[in-house]
Structure 1
Amino acid sequence: MAHPRANLFFLLSCLLCYSLNAFAGKSYYDILQLSKGASEEQIKRAYRKLALKYHPDKNPNNQEANKRFAEINNAYEILSDTEKRSIYDRYGEEGLKQHAAGGGGRGGGMGMDFEDIFSSFFGGGGGPVEEEERIVKGDDVVVELDVMLEDLYMGGSLKVWREKNVLKPAPGKRRCNCRNEVYHRQIGPGMFQQMTEQVCEQCPNVKYEREGYFITVDIEKGMQDGQDVLFYEDGEPIIDGEPGDLKFRIRTAPHYLFRREGNDLHTTITITLVQALVGFEKTIEHLDGRLVDISTKGMTNPKQVRKFKGEGMPLHMSTKKGDLYVTFEVLFPTSLSEEQKTNIKAIFG
C-alpha cells in the first residue's frame, strides 16, 4: 500500500501540472468546441462533425487540417473514456501521463492510431470517408459582426447579446421518433401485399421559450472578412434533432485612417508643396499605437505611393505580415503673390 505522503505528493504534482497545462494551449474541450459539462452524446456528435470535416481524405496536402484531425482524435479518445476524462478533469494532461506510467489505461491517448479511432467510431476500414449520416438539424444562425481594425490587428474579444428559442418541458405527451415500418399482409393463397405503416413513440411535450444572454466572441489576429467564429449547436433548436450552429461572420468596420485590402493596409497622407519639393519628417500612428516613420529627404510627386514592408495586417495563424502602402497627396496653394511668383521663376527658371 502506498505511503500517505507519496499519495499527497502525487496529488500536489498533478494539480501543479494541471494549473500549468491550463495556460499551455487549448484544452480537449476547446478542441472539440464543447463546454466542460458536455454529455457523452454531445461529445460523440462534436467528434463526428469535426472528424469528417478535417479527415485527410477530404483535405489532401493540407498540413493544418491533418494537425487538427490528430488533435480531434486525441481529444475524443480522452473525453469518450470515463476514467481518462475524470483524471483529465481533475489533473490535466500530466495526470494522464502519470496514470499511464503507473500502468493504467493505454497511455493517456498517445498510443492509439488516429485512423483506428475514426474507423471504430464510423465503422469500416481505411477507405474513403463516407458522407455523414442524415441528421435533422435546426437552422444555422449567421450574424454579420463589424469588428474594429485594431482588434483584427492585435486580437481581441467582443461581448454580443444573443437571443434565441430554447426548448422547455411542457404539459402532455407528443408523437416522436416516428419511422416507417414495412410489413406484409396476406391477401390470398400464396399472395402477399407489402404495406408501410408509420410508427411513433410517446414523448414528453416541449415548448419554445425565448432567452437572452451575452456571448464572448474571440477575434484572432489577421482574421479576414467572411471568416466565421463558430459556436457549435448554439443556433436554432429543433424538436427531435440537433440545434443548428451560430456563426459570427467577420466584417471589417471602417477606419478613419487605414483601409484594408487582404493582408495589406492603405492610407493617404497630405503634404504641402514645400514638403513635396524639399522632403519632410513625419510619422503616423499604427493600429497598435506605434509610430511609423514615413519621412523622406527626396521629392514626392502627387499621388506617389510608397510601400512599407511588414507594416500591414498580420496573416491569420502566421507570424508574417502584409505591407503598408502610403499614397501622398500634395496640397497646392490656392493663390500666389507677385513676389512669390517672381521668386519661384528665379528658382526654377
Structure 2
Amino acid sequence: MAHRRARLLFLLCALCYALNVIAGKSYYEVLQVPRGASDEQIKRAYRKLALKYHPDKNPGNEEANKRFAEINNAYEVLSDSETRNIYDTYGEEGLKQHAASGGRGGGMGVNIQDIFSSFFGGGPMEEDEKIVKGDDVIVELDATLEDLYMGGSLKVWREKNVIKPAPGKRRCNCRNEVYHKQIGPGMFQQMTEQVCEQCQNVKYEREGYFVTVDIEKGMQDGQEVVFYEDGEPKIDGEPGDLKFRIRTAPHDRFRREGNNLHTTVTVTLVQALVGFEKTIEHLDEHLVDISTKGITKPKEVRKFGGEGMPLHFSNKKGDLYITFEVLFPTTLTEDQKTRIKEVLG
C-alpha cells in the first residue's frame, strides 16, 4: 500500500513538472543556458542578460523591464543548489510548495534590485572583464516578414567542436612566476620562469544538434539573438558565443523599410476614375480597407497609419505605404473613344 502511494505521488509530481514545461519557457531558456549548465555558466549568462535588459539601459521599455524581472527570477532559483534541485525535479509547483513550507522558492517576496546589486556590487554597471575566449560564431539568419511581424521561432542545425577527454597529460594553466637569483655579494637579478600544471589531455570532436532561435516582434536587420558560450570552445578558457544576426527575407507582397511597410496595388482605369471598394490581406491575415471614392493617379502613394511593422519592445507600429498602379487598356474601339471624348472632353 505504501509503495502504491509513493508511486502515485511520484506520478503527480511528474505531471506537475510536465505541465510547467508545457506552460512556457523554462528558467534555463530564460537564461539561455543548457539544463546541465555549471554555476559559472549561469552566473556569466545572468550577468550579460541583466546588463542588457537593465531598466537603466532601457528607460520606459516595459517589455525590457519584464525580461529583466524574468531573468532575475530565473537566476535566483538556478543559482541556489537547493531550489535548483527542487525545480529540476518538480518544476515551479515544487518551488511553490517549498516556499509555502518556509523555504525560499521561486522569487517569492524577493527584491529584484537587491539581487542585481548583490551580484554587481551595487556600483555602476560595468562590462565583462577581459577573459580568454574562443571565437564567436556569427550566422546570418533570414527571418520571414510574418515572423518579424507576429513573432516566431526557427530551428537551425548547428555543428561545432566539443572538447573531449583524450589519453595522456598536457601542460596547462601556464603562468609566469618571478623569482630573484643572487649573482654576487648583495647583488640579485630578477628572473621570470614559466610554470605549468599537468592536466588531462583533450581533443576536439564534432557534434551536431538543433538550436531554436526565437524571433521577437519588430526585430530589425542586424539585431542578434545570442546563445552565450555556444560558440567555438577554447582549451583552458571559455567558449565564444553563438550569434544569429537577423536579416529580413524578401517577401512576395511587402517590402520593409525600418518600421514601415511598402506594397503595390493595381487598379483598373475605371476604378482609378470613379473610386473603388477594396481590401488587402496583411501579414497576420487581417484585412486593411484601402477603399476610396476619389480619383487615383498613377504612382500615387497613400499612407495607412499604424499598419506597418511593430516596434521592437513596444506596442506602437509603423505605417503602411501603398503605391497604386493604374491598369490602362491596350486598345480602344472608335465607339469607346467617342464616348470617352463625350464624358471627358
- The TM tier, using the shorter chain, reads 0.7 to 0.9
Using the TM superposition, name which of 173-182 and 149-158 deviates more. 149-158
Aligned to 1:49: 48
Q: TM-score, normalised by structure 2?
A: 0.85
Name which of 332, 337, 346 aligns with 2:333.
337
- Displacement of 1:25: 4.3
**Residues of 2 paired with 1:56 and 1:197: CA distance?**
48
Mapped partners of 2:244, 2:116: distance in 1: 29
User: Does the 8 A contact of 2:73 with 2:106 survive in 1?
Assistant: no
Equivalents in 2 of 1:205, 1:8: separation in Å? 45
**Letter of the aligned partner of 2:94 in structure 1?**
G
**Residue 95 of structure 1 corresponds to which residue in structure 2?**
94
Q: Deviations over 1:182-205 (max 9, x none)?
A: 222233343332222111111122
Shift of 1:15: 6.3
Q: Are residues 202 and 192 of structure 1, via their aligned partners in 2, closer, same or farther at CA, if it must alter by over 3 Å?
A: same
Q: What is the distance in 1 between the residues matched to 2:278 and 2:61?
A: 44
Aligned to 2:201: 205
Distance 1:216 1:115 in 2: 30
Q: Distance in 1 between matches of 2:168 and 2:314?
A: 55
Of 258, 265, 268, which aligns to 2:254?
258
Closer/same/farther in 2, CA of residues 339 and 52 from structure 1, 3 Å limit: closer
Counterpart of 1:155 in structure 2 is 151
Name the count of aligned residue pairs: 344
Aligned residue number for residue 81 of structure 2: 82
Residue in 2 aligned with 1:138? 134
Partners of 2:109 and 2:187 in 1: CA distance: 58
Distance 1:318 1:57 in 2: 17
Q: Letter of the aligned partner of 2:340 in structure 1?
A: I
Q: Deviations over 1:145-180 (max 9, x none)?
A: 112222222333323222222222222221111111
- Residue correspondence of structure 1 range 306-345 to structure 2 within 5 A: 306-345=302-341
CA RMSD of the aligned region, Å?
A: 3.1
| 1:17-74 C-alpha deviation (Å, 9 max, x unpaired) | 6555445543322221112222223222322333444455666676655554443333
1:50-65 alignment to 2 at 5 Å?
50-55=49-54, 65=64
Instruction: Write the distance in 2 (CA, Å) between the matches of 1:118 and 1:328.
Output: 54
Q: In structure 2, what residue type is equivalent to 1:90?
A: T
Residues in 2 aligned to 1:156 and 1:224: alpha-carbon distance in whole angstroms = 14
| Whole-angstrom CA distance in 2 between matches of 1:7 and 1:145 | 49
Offset of residue 293 of structure 1: 3.1
Deviations 1:189-241 (A, max 9, x none): 43332222111111122222233333232223322211212222111111111
Aligned to 2:32: 33
Query: 8 Å contact 1:162–1:214 — kept in the other structure?
Result: yes
Deviations 1:275-299 (A, max 9, x none): 1111223332322334433222321
What are the equivalent positions in structure 2 for 1:264-303 lying under 5 Å apart? 264-303=260-299
Q: TM-score, normalised by structure 1?
A: 0.84
| Mapped partners of 1:326, 1:135: distance in 2 | 51
Counterpart-to-counterpart distance in 1, 2:313 and 2:284: 18
- The whole-number CA distance in structure 2 between the counterparts of 1:186 and 1:56 is 58
Deviation at 1:312, TM superposition (A): 2.2
Counterpart in the other structure of 2:72: 73
Contact 1:74 1:110 in 2 (8 A): no
Name the amino acid aligned to 2:77.
Answer: I
Instruction: Structure 2: state its 5+ residue gaps.
Output: none
Distance 2:116 2:257 in 1: 40
Aligned to 1:305: 301
Contact 1:115 1:126 in 2 (8 A): no
What does residue 236 of structure 2 align with? 240
Paired with 2:179 and 2:128, the residues of 1 have a C-alpha distance of: 29
Distance 1:321 1:118, change over 3 A: closer
- Asked if the contact 1:57–1:128 (Cα under 8 Å) also holds between the matched residues in 2, the reply is no
Shift of 1:102: 1.9
Q: Structure 1: which amino acid aligns with 2:43?
A: K
Match of residue 128 from structure 1: 124
Is the Cα–Cα contact under 8 Å of residues 305 and 326 in structure 1 kept in the other structure? Answer: yes
SS where residue 275 of structure 1 aligns?
A: helix
What SS does structure 2 have at the residue aligned with 1:182? strand
Q: CA deviation at 1:260?
A: 1.1
Deviates more, 1:265-274 or 1:188-197: 188-197
Q: Which runs of 5+ in 1 are unaligned?
A: none
Q: Per-residue deviation at 1:85?
A: 1.0
CA distance in 2, matches of 1:59, 1:312: 23
Superposed, 1:171-210 pairs within 5 Å as 171-210=167-206
Q: Contact 2:63–2:314 (CA<8 Å) still a contact in 1?
A: no
User: Identity percentage over the alignment?
Assistant: 81
Instruction: Tell me: CA distance 1:58–1:163, structure 2 relative to 1, closer, same or farther (3 Å).
Output: same
Question: Structure 1 residues 169 and 325 mapped into 2: Cα distance closer, same or farther (>3 Å)?
Answer: same
- Correspondence list, 1:97-112, <5 A: 97-104=96-103, 106=104, 108-112=106-110
